[in-house]
Amino acid sequence: MNTPPADPPSRPPALGGGCLIAAGLVLGPVLGLLFNQTSLGLILGAVIGVAAAVILTVLDKRR
């Protein structure tokens, strides 16, 4: 009479966007060195990395 509870439907694991932020923080200053603007490269790398992570999160929620 006692039946075990049904397992919830499995969902694929969420995509990781943190690696995009880390890549932006590392590659931004490296590319900024080409223009002698390492601080600007760091800021732009962080902004681009965060934007890419947000886009990845939004697209991952839709599937």
Q: Which comes out higher in pLDDT, residue 51 or 63? A: 51
Tally of domains within the chain? 1
Is there a domain that residue 9 lies in? no
Residue 40's pLDDT is: 97
pTM value is: 0.75
**Using one digit for the tens of pLDDT, what is the confidence trace for 47-58?**
999 999 999 988
Is there a domain that residue 31 lies in? yes
Tell me the residue range of the domain where 24 lies.
Answer: 18-62
Is there a domain that residue 7 lies in? no
For the chain, the three-class secondary structure string (H helix, E strand, C coil) is CCCCCCCCCCCCCCCCCHHHHHHHHHHHHHHHHCCCCHHHHHHHHHHHHHHHHHHHHHHHHHC
**Using one digit for the tens of pLDDT, what is the confidence trace for 14-42?**
778 899 999 999 999 999 999 999 999 99
